[in-house]
Structure 1
Amino acid sequence: MHRELFRPGVLVALSICAGCIGWSGHVLLLPVAVAFPLLWSLARRRLQAAAVSAAYFFAASRGLPQGVANFYGQDIWPGLLLWLVASSAFVAVHFVLWTDRKGWQKPLRYVAACIAMAIPPFGILGWAHPITAAGVLFSGWGWWGLAATAVGLTVMTTQYRPAAVIVMASFWLWSAAEWTTPILPASWMGVDLQMGGSLGRDTGLQRQQELIDVARAQSVGTTIVLPESALGFWTPTVARFWQKGLTGTDITVIAGAALLDASGYDNVLVQISAKGHEVLYRERMPVPGSMWQPWRGWIGHSNDYESGARAHFFANPVVEVGSAKVAPLICYEQLLVWPVLQSAFHRPDAIVAVGNGWWTAGTSIIDIQQASSEAWARLFNLPLVISFNI
């Protein structure tokens, strides 16, 4: 009896360690997450596989309950409920696809689980995907590095797992010794703000002027990136105010805003200069629950702001800023796999990652987002611009 409990207990404990350490927000620790398929494959029963999956996901996303409590100004219970719901996709996929059959059944099923958690619909909740470690293990290898990581994860579920561990650990150590952070594109500057929950909510012209002054004060770069939601609602009045505020400069500002219309709103990035302005990017995957609420339309909220943010799943993977192709990632998109891979397929010149993370106080969520962005940028050897508000 004790032996039967000991093995799954050890697997669950190790899964918690893999989730906590791999997703601690330190980019060089991401390869710890590749231990998950090994632990999943060592389960002897389907329920054990579910427990291992739940332990890994809960540990990796441990900041969610506190973040939700901060965002809504409530106690932690709603966050715990959302934490449970968010884990359901990851646990269900790995529960259903687990098998105790010998041969190549288990690795092939893990490949299926990897793919399922990388693309919609399950990929909508596909946080903490071990494939993200490709950027650390095989920096600069691009699609070949992604393929090598996928092969390594698959071999982790076979009897050859010791060889896979040795090989991947060797690449990890080599990469850590040679690691360099992604560079900024020439003449670009990402600006971090510390305006808390007022950013995007204080929509007065005084706040807009403060942000214009911030942009004009940057001594390096002519393309200035401000965080998600920085401008609040994007209206003709705000657009004209900004264009006038940048008159006499050669600065281009890329900033987050919300674009409201009769059927809901888009979480967007806008581009502004003294010469004009345009909506540059519409977010492909807003945060499920707090922003993207498709069920609202089923209960009568179909023509107002309450219908939530729209998801443009596979739209605008890259956008043009001057002569450069840029892959934008807004907040939640930095935690997922398919937005960045879709963008990488279009061969961008840089990645721009923005967020409004005031609600993450007391958690490592922003660190995890930035570590993920850095890993993807290093995998494809792309410059990276980051701008966050805390």
Structure 2
Amino acid sequence: MTPAFSAWRGRSSPSIPDRWRPALLVTAAVAIGWVGWSGHALTLPLAMLFPALWAWAPNRVTAAAVSMGYFLAASRGLPQGVAAFYAADIWPGLGLWIGASCLFVGVHAALWLRQPGWTRALRYLVAAVLMAFPPFGITGWAHPVTAAGVLFPGWGWWGLTAAVAVLLVMTTRAWSVMMIVLAGLWLWSAANPAQPALPAGWRGLDLSLGRSLGREHSLAYQDALAALVREQAINSARVVILPESALGFWTPTLEGFWINALRCSNVTLLAGAAVLERQGYDNVMVAISAGKASVLYRERMPVPVSMWQPWATWTGTGGGARAYFFANPVVKLAGIRVAPLICYEQLIVWPILQSMWFGAETIVATGNGWWTQGSSIIDIQKTNVTVWARLFAVPLAMSFNT
């Protein structure tokens, strides 16, 4: 055991005074948050060290600081992304970044316990569950359990259970043994870096249209997308996927255009769009084929603040995207049960777990990430859905716009 770890575990150390321990813990939390959530699958298991740092905190204030350091480092792309989204300076983004961390920090600080043992482990379990499901799970980014797909590929629910067990043991005195186990699992995963397969005949198209995606209302824009889809059909694609918001506002006129555009094709298009309603709008995926079109999926969790604005409903002003939380976890497309995940849903835990619980056979992930340029947000989204697909051994199709 290294002197640093001895200092963190004990009340005193001949090499590192107690007064340095909080600073070391916070520094370590920032490091694992920064590196673990860099958008690379093999760094994700570093996030599983967070429970140990939380447990080694000498007091509740340090536990809060450790949680804050980890969460802010893991979500560091948010300020820059918000500034780009609103075309504003960085201050609104900084405010949202710090504000969004309050739930994570509050939950972990409130449940921290000084006394070691399984009571503390069970308290961490409560914190982990709270941050995985609404209402706290709405901002449950950077959840350490996401690393289950790296360490236990193909294990499904047993792998998820094993990952939770690892997290709990990391809060006990047996953490050093679990570190050895984690290292072994990581090496095995690094030696077997298999990626999820693409469903046969499915094509997810990545676009580079920036902020113009879905905001261009010309016929030429829709014609160009239709030509792209028909080109894939010629190349034997049965299902073509376009990114979030690709079609813009879904109207009867647009529906008629696309049905006509695909009338001589055997391809099915799954594309992002928005459906206007009296009190706001729905962020959706629509399915279009020769002769028919329908809204297949309504987003369960739009991006808080920028899209989902519940206060607008409470005040009667409306205008935000509606959240369907636990609705339509699985949809049927081309005879396959699909787990649809739009953008923000790829960063949190419950949407994918709910979909897999209801028997999803493949995952479809779409996003419109033009506003994330210069950050690792899209890389993190893609990594998240990839490791979930690995955990449950299901095919994965992705389509993103940058």
TM class, shorter-chain normalised? Answer: over 0.9
Could you say which residue in structure 2 is the equivalent of 1:79? Answer: 93
Structure 1 residue aligned with 2:74, among 39, 48, 60?
Answer: 60
Give the whole-Å Cα distance in 1 for the aligned partners of 2:217 and 2:284: 16
SS at match of 1:290: coil
The 1:280–1:70 alpha-carbon spacing in structure 2 relative to 1, beyond 3 Å, is: same
Could you say which residue in structure 2 is the equivalent of 1:295? Answer: 311
Could you say which residue in structure 2 is the equivalent of 1:113? Answer: 127
Answer yes or no: is the 8 Å Cα contact 1:201–1:232 preserved in 2: yes
Structure 2 residue aligned with 1:340, among 352, 361, 374?
Answer: 352
Could you say which residue in structure 1 is the equivalent of 2:4? Answer: none
SS at match of 1:374: helix
Q: CA deviation at 1:358?
A: 0.1
Where does 1:125-140 land on structure 2 (aligned, <5 Å)?
125-140=139-154
Q: CA deviation at 1:137?
A: 0.4
Give TM-score scaled by structure 1 length.
Answer: 0.97
Structure 1 residue aligned with 2:373, among 348, 358, 361?
Answer: 361
SS at match of 1:192: coil
SS at match of 1:376: helix
1:270 aligns with 2:286: yes
Runs of at least 5 residues in structure 1 that lack an aligned partner in the other structure? none
1:211 aligns with 2:225: yes
Could you say which residue in structure 2 is the equivalent of 1:285? Answer: 301
Where does 1:303-322 land on structure 2 (aligned, <5 Å)?
306=319, 308-322=320-334
Deviations 1:4-49 (A, max 9, x none): 4311111111111110111000112111110100111110100000
1:385 aligns with 2:397: yes
Counterpart residue identity of residue 212, structure 1: A
Deviations 1:209-253 (A, max 9, x none): 111111111224210000000000000000110111112110110
1:12 aligns with 2:26: yes
- Root-mean-square deviation (CA, aligned residues, Å) is 1.1
Structure 2 residue aligned with 1:45, among 46, 52, 59?
Answer: 59
Answer yes or no: is the 8 Å Cα contact 1:188–1:220 preserved in 2: no
Structure 2 residue aligned with 1:222, among 238, 241, 244?
Answer: 238
Answer yes or no: is the 8 Å Cα contact 2:44–2:147 preserved in 1: yes
Give the whole-Å Cα distance in 1 for the aligned partners of 2:203 and 2:372: 23
Answer yes or no: is the 8 Å Cα contact 1:182–1:377 preserved in 2: yes
Counterpart residue identity of residue 264, structure 2: G
Where does 1:190-269 land on structure 2 (aligned, <5 Å)?
190-218=204-232, 219-269=235-285
Give the whole-Å Cα distance in 1 for the aligned partners of 2:366 and 2:122: 36
Could you say which residue in structure 2 is the equivalent of 1:156? Answer: 170
1:88 aligns with 2:88: no
SS at match of 2:149: helix
Task: Tell which deviates more after alignment, 28-37 or 351-360.
Answer: 28-37
Give the whole-Å Cα distance in 1 for the aligned partners of 2:157 and 2:218: 45
Counterpart residue identity of residue 41, structure 2: V
Deviations 1:66-105 (A, max 9, x none): 0001111111000000001110110000010001023222
Give the whole-Å Cα distance in 1 for the aligned partners of 2:103 and 2:40: 25
Could you say which residue in structure 1 is the equivalent of 2:338? Answer: 326
SS at match of 1:217: helix
Give the whole-Å Cα distance in 2 for the aligned partners of 1:7 and 1:34: 20
Task: Tell which deviates more after alignment, 367-376 or 26-35.
Answer: 26-35
SS at match of 1:272: strand
Could you say which residue in structure 2 is the equivalent of 1:370? Answer: 382
Where does 1:27-46 land on structure 2 (aligned, <5 Å)?
27-46=41-60
Could you say which residue in structure 1 is the equivalent of 2:3? Answer: none
Task: Tell which deviates more after alignment, 101-110 or 252-261.
Answer: 101-110
Counterpart residue identity of residue 291, structure 2: K
Give the whole-Å Cα distance in 2 for the aligned partners of 1:338 and 1:5: 39
Answer yes or no: is the 8 Å Cα contact 2:39–2:379 preserved in 1: yes
Counterpart residue identity of residue 267, structure 1: N
Aligned length: 386
Where does 1:160-171 land on structure 2 (aligned, <5 Å)?
160-171=174-185
SS at match of 2:303: coil
SS at match of 2:270: strand
Counterpart residue identity of residue 196, structure 2: P
Give the whole-Å Cα distance in 2 for the aligned partners of 1:351 and 1:102: 40
Answer yes or no: is the 8 Å Cα contact 2:116–2:173 preserved in 1: no
SS at match of 1:336: coil
Q: Identical aligned pairs, as a percentage?
A: 58
Give the whole-Å Cα distance in 2 for the aligned partners of 1:4 and 1:204: 65
Give TM-score scaled by structure 2 length.
Answer: 0.95
Answer yes or no: is the 8 Å Cα contact 1:182–1:374 preserved in 2: yes
